[in-house]
Every structure is written in C-alpha cells, then in structure tokens.
Amino acid sequence: MRYRDLGRTGLRVSELGFGCASWWGKPRFEERTALGLVHEAIDLGVTLFDTGASYSAGEAEPRLGRALKGRDTSQLVIATKAGTYHAGGGRIARDMSPSAIVASAERSLVNLGLDALGLLQLHGPSAAELDALLPTLESLKARGVARAVGLNSFDPLVIEHAVGLPQVDVVMVDYNVLRPEREPLIARAAAGGKGVLAGMPLAMGHTRPLLARLKGPQDIWYAARALAKHRGELAKGRRFSFLHDLPEMTGAQAALAYVLSNPGVSAAVFGATRSGHLRENIAASGLALSADLISRIRAAQQ
C-alpha cells in the first residue's frame, strides 16, 4: 500500500481508503462479515476509513466503532461527517446549526470509541452554512475533538468556495472516470494545500452493466439506488465497459488507478462488501495506466 499526505494536515493516509457506508453498515449485512472487512483492510495497510453520522440510517458509525474495538487506532485516520442525521423511517434530515455539529462530533467520538476524530467533514453544507460554521470547526480542532476538518460536497461551487477558506483542511468530492470535469477543481484544491478525498472512485460500479452485477442482496439494493438516483451515471458508464476487458488489471483496478493517477488526490475512498473486491482494490495501489489506456479513457469521456 502506498501512502500520501492529506494536504497540509500533517496526516498521512493510505491512498486507498475504505468507505463504511451504505450496505456495509446495514444490519441486514452480517456483522461478522462487515467487521471482518475492516480488519482485513487494516491488515492490508489501509489507514483511512470514512463514515458518517447518518450513513446506513445511523448504523455505520457505531458498527465501525465495534470493528475498531481492541485495535491499535494510533496509525489510523478515521473520518466521519456531521450535519445530517437519520430522522427515522429511512429519512435523512439536515441540521447545520453549530450546536448540532458539536453534538454530532461528540456522539461520533463515543460511537467510534475514539479520543479524537481524524477528520470531521460537514456533510453537504451550502457555502453560507460552511462560512457560518468555520468558528465551530476551528473550536472542535482547538479542543482536540477533530485533528482535521473539512467537508463532503458534490456541488462544485461549494467545493470551489471551500478551497479558498484557510480553515478548511480537506474536501471530499465525487471523482471517478465518469467525472473528469472535477479535475480543474481538484488541481486548485491541491495547489491550495487541501487534502482531497475522492468519494465514489469506482463510479459505484456503473462501468459494468447493472444486470451483470446482480449476484447478491447488496447488488439488488445498489441497483435500486442506481435506478432511483443515478440513471445518468448508468448511461455514461456504458462507454467505459472496455475497462473490464484489460489483460493487465481488472476494471475496478483500472478505475481506481485512474483516480490515483491524479496527483491532487490524497486518497480514493471505495465501498466494498466482498473480501475479493476489497483485496482486488487494495492491489490497485501502485498500478500505472498505459498511455494507450489513458487515451481510451479520455476518448470515452468526450
């Protein structure tokens, strides 16, 4: 596993991080398997784990805490999010008030069994909410609740705004082969000393046809989410099916190697619920794409 600086935070992270979200955090996904994936990731050199207070209807964060129990977390960077919470019945609500962010961060410490969060990210704030929360974020850092602070947003205007704020250490953006339009923004963020986390680096698996992926209950859950929310990605993903026919690496590895070939990216945070996927993804660290493959990806992005 290779490691990279997380911007100017002074933290170093594995260039592949494990996302503890979605199906991974759901009670329907067996606890032993979910915890086993985290342990396997740690054993294979992963030091970055990303979750959120509202992930998996609030179940992901305490589950990650159970996975970390009894483990040496001193070399790990545990990232979580605040500003959204599970409001019951599968509904996710937002509260970006300073008191809610402080309470959420303190609850995360308990859920995760940590003395300090590696990274606290606001979960989808507006630019105005981010501005209003800067003193809160600074105070959480000064109190030692979080070692670094930032935000996760899929709104490029909000990220652009955040890049100009000295109080923001890290931004998490949606970046993968389907999203080359994020590249100028990532370059500006990195030039400004921000750590950049690429969320959804596998494009949620949409470079492979949906039907080819339906093997277990999680696949049906992911497919339902894709049909409800990500039809655009499903359509775009078809242009990248050639990634799955390469002799030198798998399609997932090519997708991750593409994200990691961007020097502005500190880490790609993928989700996986199968040990084979986890191992395959971790083996993507250090893989280089040929010039020919990069040209084919660029052509498909047009």
Find the binding residues for ligand NAP in span 15-74 (CB under 6 A).
Answer: 19, 21-23, 50
Contact 292, 42 (CB under 8 A): no
For tokens 């930032």, name the residue.
150
The site for ligand NAP, by CB under 6 A, has a size of 25
For tokens 């020097």, name the residue.
263
Region near ligand NAP per CB under 6 A, out of 137-145, 178-186, 203-211, 257-265: 203-211
How far is residue 15's CA from residue 110's CA, in Å, rounded to a whole number? 27
Find the binding residues for ligand NAP in span 253-272 (CB under 6 A).
Answer: 269-272
Helix, strand, or coil (residue 262): coil
Q: Is the dihedral of CA 65, 68, 69, 72 positive or negative?
A: negative
> Of 86, 82, 136, whose CA–CA distance to 109 is shortest?
82
Out of 9, 136, 266, 273, name the contact with ligand NAP by CB under 6 A.
273
Out of 274, 288, 290, 299, name the contact with ligand NAP by CB under 6 A.
274
**In the complex with ligand NAP, which residue's Cβ is closer, 33 or 139?**
33
The CA angle 112-116-119, to the nearest 5 degrees, is 85
**In the complex with ligand NAP, which residue's Cβ is closer, 9 or 56?**
56
For the bound state, the minimum distance from the C-beta of residue 277 to ligand NAP, rounded and expressed in Å, comes to 3
**In the complex with ligand NAP, which residue's Cβ is closer, 107 or 213?**
213
**In the complex with ligand NAP, which residue's Cβ is closer, 85 or 270?**
270
**In the complex with ligand NAP, which residue's Cβ is closer, 19 or 264?**
19
**In the complex with ligand NAP, which residue's Cβ is closer, 139 or 264?**
264
How far is residue 146's CA from residue 141's CA, in Å, rounded to a whole number? 5
Region near ligand NAP per CB under 6 A, out of 2-10, 40-48, 70-78, 273-281: 273-281
For the bound state, the minimum distance from the C-beta of residue 221 to ligand NAP, rounded and expressed in Å, comes to 9
Joined together, the tokens standing for residue 154 give 């899929």
Contact 183, 189 (CB under 8 A): no
Comparing every residue's Cβ against ligand NAP, the nearest one is: 19
How far is residue 24's CA from residue 42's CA, in Å, rounded to a whole number? 16
Region near ligand NAP per CB under 6 A, out of 91-99, 106-114, 201-209, 291-299: 201-209
203 near ligand NAP (CB under 6 A)? yes
CA-CA-CA-CA dihedral for 25, 29, 31, 37, to nearest 10: -70
| Helix extents (H) in 143-181 | 156-163
Contact 47, 282 (CB under 8 A): no
For the bound state, the minimum distance from the C-beta of residue 142 to ligand NAP, rounded and expressed in Å, comes to 26
Out of 56, 73, 80, 152, name the contact with ligand NAP by CB under 6 A.
152
Contact 205, 213 (CB under 8 A): yes
Contact mark string toward ligand NAP, 107..146, x via CB under 6 A: ----------------------------------------
Joined together, the tokens standing for residue 88 give 């019951």
Binding site for ligand NAP (CB under 6 A): 19, 21-23, 50, 152, 199-205, 218, 222, 252, 269-274, 277, 280-281
